[in-house]
Structure 1
Amino acid sequence: MDGKMIMNKQSIKLVALSGLLASAPCYSATTSIISQAYDGTRTTADSRFPQISADGQYVTFVSSSDNLVMNDTNGKDDVFVYHYATGTMERISVSDSGVQANGDSFFPSISANGRYIAFGSTASNLSPDDLNTRRDIFRHDRVTGETLLITRSTSGGATNGGSGLPKISGDGQVIAFESVATNLVPGDTNGLRDIFAYDGATDSISRVSLTADGSQILDGGREATKPTISDNGRYVTYQTWADDVVPNDDRHTTDIFRYDRQTGETRIVSLSSAGEYGNNQSEESSVSGDGRYVLFNSSSDNLVPGDDNDETDIFVHDTMTEQTLMASVKNDGNPNNGFEFSGDISDDGQFVVFSSTATNIAPNDNNHNPDIFLRDLLQNTTTRISVSDSGVQSDRASLFPSISSDGTRVVFQSQASNLIDGNPQPGLLKNIYLIELDPASSVVPAKLKVAASIDGQSTLTKPGPALPNSGSTATWDFVVSNTGDEEATGVKLFIKRFEPQLDNTWSLLCELGDITGAGDASCSDTSLIVDGAFKMLISAQGYDKNGDKTIGDTPAWYVGGSDSTVPSLDLTVLLNGQDNDNDAPGQAFNTGGPVSYTYSVTNTGPFELTYVRVYSRFYADAEYSPPNSKWKRACIFARMQPGQTLTCTEQVTVPAGEIRRDISAQTFYHSDKITRDEQSYFIGQ
């Protein structure tokens, strides 16, 4: 059994980190090297792919070094966990009894409190249930010592394909991963790499890389890969260049998608604030703790205005306000001149860390190597953190940053030899470093947050509460919290309506005055209940001590009217321009000739519906025997407003005999499937 080795941390103090402009705050920080031998000497091999726990106490990484812990004699890549507070190192890629792995282990992911670590491995001796010779996913419990095989087939046996890149939820119960196996779930026939989620509460696996209507991805050869998962385990993001995940996507480029495990919704997030899909590759996502903010890198130049640097940049998409911003910017907010690699986002979405080759973010950046930068989206500052205490820049590449929940600790991988003053490292050896920003020196400025309810019911989740009594009044209650340390002054609350139609005018709800740090203020308003489904944006706006505006936004939904709680569709079918709903045996047409169908779909409910699809098929039984009875998608409508009717056409070749065709309009509203079916009849002669 591996012991927990006590490490002597080599650390330095950093004051006024290089890269800060005069207007930016000064940070005090400590840099430590994590990947040290158990006796405090240098390691014998590379250490790579670090991830820090949400609480900032534990760091997991991969290394083939044989002296991080005692008795490491397998000569393999192993997974380790380092406890920062105690300086202990522990090998994780071992069996329940502590036997070291007989294969390489890779890409670890750690739970919020460091108890659970998910990782991939080619080892065959970590679990008695591992009966294949492929890469599998495991979860190690540091409390009980259990190493659990996650990737099992639907029958509980071995999988028939390799799995990798696991990401674990905050509580350690949900693990997202990619796999080429086809026997993890029923009906996996696409032959592609898919994204799956293991749920420890039910000991079950589900596929999450699905199209908007819940079908498997079928776009040939275009796999889904690189999942991430929100801290609460609800949302999984991933990348794929398949064009059939969302409608109207014929760009043949990689995009980022977010899957909601609770509602089954799949949505694209690599898009602009105006809803325009990115015009180039988007990859390497990361997601905030609640799944609201999704970070990714992209070489698209149409996601934000003014993106003219012709480089891959880091973006953050807010899934609630549907706004996208560039995070890899200089302190003046303009794009930098470098190429961005992988990034990470803090649980609350305030901090972003990324690796970049840019030379114009930090002063005197001429090391010609990728550096690690910290972007504070609240204070609008970008800081280079992969430097020594005296501001000496690293002499080799720094990559793969990971940030703690509160943004006070960052780990990364670097080949630099000069990050620890007085203790130079071998120049080509990859090591793991931790930067700790001193919380006492980082006073959080005023930051506003809004909560809204109507008649005592939260309006945060779409479609919002149902208010059936049309014509009566409802009471809105608003609470504005200042989550910063400093006072917010002149706070006002505004509202703008987005649906059913956009009202570009902000209306003042109330004036709240000054709100102290960690304080809150509230106000109420009344409104008339009218029929329909409504989306508003509530915005609290005030100023920090420097006179800079601070804004907190939240969307709000509600549904009004006695019949406004059920989404529904209507479908009308015309055959060669004539009504053809349910009339058997129908008109006669020449066999082999064409006929034209017109499908008109109406959104008869109160909600906006998305990805409405029309399917058709020849129906086959003893009476009707056409040559093909498979469902075929005739058309798709990306968005349908309440009351809107959209039309599409389909050409069909007439077979011989009495023919029945089925037509189905379908969509999903959250997890509910909405359908309207019709039949059409004609005779081929």
Structure 2
Amino acid sequence: MEPTNRTARTRRLARAACGLAVAAAVTATAAPAQAAPAWGPIVQVDLGPDGARADQQSASLGISENGRYALFGSSATNLLAGTEAPAYGLYVRDLRTGRTELVSRAEDGAPVANTGETAGISGDGRYIAFSGEANGVFNVYVRDRVRGRTQLLTAGTASGPGEGDHGAYQPAISADGRRVAFMSARADVVPGAPVTPDTRNVYVTDRVTGATRLVSAGADGQAADGPSENPVISADGRTVGYNSKATNLLPPADGGTADLLRRRYTTLYATDLRRGTTVVASVARDGTPAVGSADRVFTLSPDGRYAAYALGAAPLPGGKSRTELFLHDLRTGRVTAVRTSANPDAICWADPSAAITADDRWIYFSGGCSDTIIRASQARYDLYRQNLDTGRTEPVSTTPDGTPQDGAAVTPYVTANGRTVLFADSSTNLLPGDPGAYEWHIYLRSLTRG
């Protein structure tokens, strides 16, 4: 099951790198220039102990709230000194000391040979939640970097013909490291929880009490009648978001979604764990429920107030598919489009990945619009940040001298104060001496003031 997620991520990165060539053909005049923020230099994160560039590609996975620790996954073999790297490992780099450590380790400290790409880091950088395979089954683990210990959070064992029948995957961790959300198809995660043979469910475990709760239950307490997966959790640990094909997560009178849900498409939901209420998070601008992306592309703000997600839009000229990014205020119900252009006639697109700051002021996102693409050589997916109060949009993934990058930037993660962002980029001109190959590596950029 996890290898399928890895393939989905690879497809999405490939689309970001080259999928919008047609966009350059609809170029209009550039939008009015805005004062550029005082960005500092770009720093590469996936580096070996001698400062050498990672010899394989990497994916950004998270950053601590204070910006000191960066979490990423990589197939590189040269990130550690004197240690044989796994085929794919999860790493944390201390951005203050430059030390990189392998965090995808089993209970005995040995590297986990087969690790899922989905992982999370606590706010202080101490705890890492990840999934990995041991003895033929995937389980969820939490690595305590301070004590050097790994906790087995789930306890599935190989017991059936399909590994997906008894594994646990896709962990997300709250800022305090206490709560971990994950997906599993096992029937014994919560004793007595209703599970159907073909259903994947979302759960959350409280690491202090040891209690595990079924999140993706039907509104009447019965089994969800479709699979739910790809959970995210707000930093405060109160809200869990996930996508689902189930048709019975909402009371019939509350949904207004029967026609949509009967089509068995993926819809995005948010569950308030304290209140026990579930709402549709993927809402179109007209207020109707909408179909979200099947990839793990659902973002919650740290306080759980906002949901960011992508919805399909009219295709680009030539039939190229595209998605636009939307922000749903789960308190007020207000839905806004997140675009780099204020021109309603501009053709815009966005990668579903996004990040929201702790004060709900800034959203970091990857995309572009037809009137902000200047020439065909400019990146199809640039990284921007937008002030959610004023609408001011600022480019982030420019080269140190301010010229456009020549690749794509996706999957941003931002510190609590919104001044430092971690992201994956395929460009060859972000740093002097780049080898000229369009490969995905991890970078960090911070404001020098403001």
- Checking the alignment, whether the CA contact within 8 Å between 1:372 and 1:399 is kept in structure 2 is yes
State the identity as a percent.
26
How far does residue 167 in structure 1 lie from its aligned partner after superposition?
Answer: 0.7
Q: Aligned in 2, Cα 1:50/1:425: closer, same or farther, shift over 3 Å?
A: farther
- Checking the alignment, whether the CA contact within 8 Å between 1:338 and 1:356 is kept in structure 2 is yes
How far does residue 94 in structure 1 lie from its aligned partner after superposition?
Answer: 1.9
CA distance in 1, matches of 2:149, 2:164: 21
1:29 partner SS: coil
Per-residue CA deviation, residues 362-416 of structure 1 (Å, 9 max, x unaligned), is: 5457435322221221231222222201223222232211122221111111221
The one-letter amino acid paired with 1:231 is: A
Q: What is the aligned partner in structure 2 of residue 206 from structure 1?
A: 213
Q: What is the aligned partner in structure 1 of residue 7 from structure 2?
A: none
2:40 partner SS: strand
Alignment of 1:450-465 (within 5 A): none
Alignment of 1:312-351 (within 5 A): 312-331=323-342, 336-351=347-362
CA distance in 1, matches of 2:308, 2:187: 30
The one-letter amino acid paired with 2:246 is: A
Q: What is the aligned partner in structure 1 of residue 274 from structure 2?
A: 262
CA distance in 1, matches of 2:429, 2:33: 26
Per-residue CA deviation, residues 294-325 of structure 1 (Å, 9 max, x unaligned), is: 11111268xxxxxxx98411111111222111
The one-letter amino acid paired with 1:296 is: Y
CA RMSD after TM alignment: 2.6
Per-residue CA deviation, residues 434-478 of structure 1 (Å, 9 max, x unaligned), is: 11122x2x2xxxxxxxxxxxxxxxxxxxxxxxxxxxxxxxxxxxx
- Checking the alignment, whether the CA contact within 8 Å between 1:354 and 1:374 is kept in structure 2 is yes
Say yes or no: does 1:172 pair with 2:177.
yes
How far does residue 267 in structure 1 lie from its aligned partner after superposition?
Answer: 1.0
Q: What is the aligned partner in structure 2 of residue 616 from structure 1?
A: none
Aligned with 1:225 (options 226, 229, 236) = 229
The one-letter amino acid paired with 2:248 is: D
Aligned with 1:60 (options 56, 65, 71) = 71
- Checking the alignment, whether the CA contact within 8 Å between 2:49 and 2:81 is kept in structure 1 is yes
Per-residue CA deviation, residues 330-372 of structure 1 (Å, 9 max, x unaligned), is: 2557754334332222222221122225443354574353222
Aligned with 2:140 (options 131, 137, 142) = 137
How far does residue 172 in structure 1 lie from its aligned partner after superposition?
Answer: 0.5
The one-letter amino acid paired with 2:114 is: G
CA distance in 1, matches of 2:385, 2:247: 34
Q: Which structure has the bigger radius of gyration?
A: 1
Say yes or no: does 1:287 pair with 2:300.
yes
CA distance in 2, matches of 1:166, 1:365: 39
Q: What is the aligned partner in structure 1 of residue 20 from structure 2?
A: none
Aligned with 2:119 (options 94, 97, 108) = 108
Gaps in structure 2 of 5+ consecutive residues: 1-29, 158-162, 315-319
Q: What is the aligned partner in structure 2 of residue 195 from structure 1?
A: 202
TM-score by length of 1: 0.55
Per-residue CA deviation, residues 81-123 of structure 1 (Å, 9 max, x unaligned), is: 011122221111124553222333532210001010101112x
How far does residue 263 in structure 1 lie from its aligned partner after superposition?
Answer: 1.8
CA distance in 1, matches of 2:87, 2:196: 34
CA distance in 2, matches of 1:164, 1:379: 39
CA distance in 1, matches of 2:31, 2:39: 12
Say yes or no: does 1:384 pair with 2:395.
yes
- Checking the alignment, whether the CA contact within 8 Å between 1:50 and 1:413 is kept in structure 2 is no
The one-letter amino acid paired with 1:87 is: G
The one-letter amino acid paired with 1:294 is: A
Say yes or no: does 1:88 pair with 2:95.
no
The one-letter amino acid paired with 1:189 is: V
- Checking the alignment, whether the CA contact within 8 Å between 2:268 and 2:280 is kept in structure 1 is yes
Q: Aligned in 2, Cα 1:137/1:396: closer, same or farther, shift over 3 Å?
A: same
1:215 partner SS: coil
- Checking the alignment, whether the CA contact within 8 Å between 1:365 and 1:393 is kept in structure 2 is no
Gaps in structure 1 of 5+ consecutive residues: 1-18, 125-131, 302-308, 443-685
2:353 partner SS: strand
CA distance in 2, matches of 1:274, 1:105: 37
- Checking the alignment, whether the CA contact within 8 Å between 1:282 and 1:300 is kept in structure 2 is no
The higher relative CO (CA closer than 8 Å, separation ≥ 6) is in 2
CA distance in 2, matches of 1:382, 1:68: 35
- Checking the alignment, whether the CA contact within 8 Å between 1:20 and 1:384 is kept in structure 2 is no
Q: Aligned in 2, Cα 1:426/1:183: closer, same or farther, shift over 3 Å?
A: farther
Aligned with 1:241 (options 245, 253, 256) = 245
Q: Aligned in 2, Cα 1:382/1:362: closer, same or farther, shift over 3 Å?
A: farther
- Checking the alignment, whether the CA contact within 8 Å between 1:20 and 1:26 is kept in structure 2 is no
Say yes or no: does 1:424 pair with 2:428.
no
Query: How many residues are aligned here?
Result: 399
Counting strand residues as a fraction of each chain, which structure ranks higher? 1
Q: What is the aligned partner in structure 1 of residue 9 from structure 2?
A: none
Say yes or no: does 1:413 pair with 2:420.
no
2:348 partner SS: coil
Per-residue CA deviation, residues 33-82 of structure 1 (Å, 9 max, x unaligned), is: 00111111122211113311222221101112121111331442111001
How far does residue 25 in structure 1 lie from its aligned partner after superposition?
Answer: 5.2
TM-score by length of 2: 0.81
Q: Higher mean Cα deviation, 310-319 or 78-87?
A: 310-319
- Checking the alignment, whether the CA contact within 8 Å between 1:294 and 1:318 is kept in structure 2 is yes
Per-residue CA deviation, residues 210-242 of structure 1 (Å, 9 max, x unaligned), is: 233333211xxx321211101111110111132
Counting helix residues as a fraction of each chain, which structure ranks higher? 2
Q: What is the aligned partner in structure 1 of residue 311 from structure 2?
A: 298
Alignment of 1:517-556 (within 5 A): none
Q: Higher mean Cα deviation, 382-391 or 197-206?
A: 382-391
CA distance in 1, matches of 2:427, 2:273: 41
2:175 partner SS: coil
The one-letter amino acid paired with 1:428 is: Y
The one-letter amino acid paired with 2:212 is: I
Per-residue CA deviation, residues 129-154 of structure 1 (Å, 9 max, x unaligned), is: xxx51121110001111101111259
Per-residue CA deviation, residues 604-624 of structure 1 (Å, 9 max, x unaligned), is: xxxxxxxxxxxxxxxxxxxxx
CA distance in 2, matches of 1:72, 1:395: 34
- Checking the alignment, whether the CA contact within 8 Å between 2:328 and 2:336 is kept in structure 1 is yes
Say yes or no: does 1:151 pair with 2:158.
no
CA distance in 1, matches of 2:445, 2:194: 44
Q: Higher mean Cα deviation, 24-33 or 380-389?
A: 24-33
Q: Higher mean Cα deviation, 201-210 or 423-432?
A: 423-432
The one-letter amino acid paired with 1:174 is: R
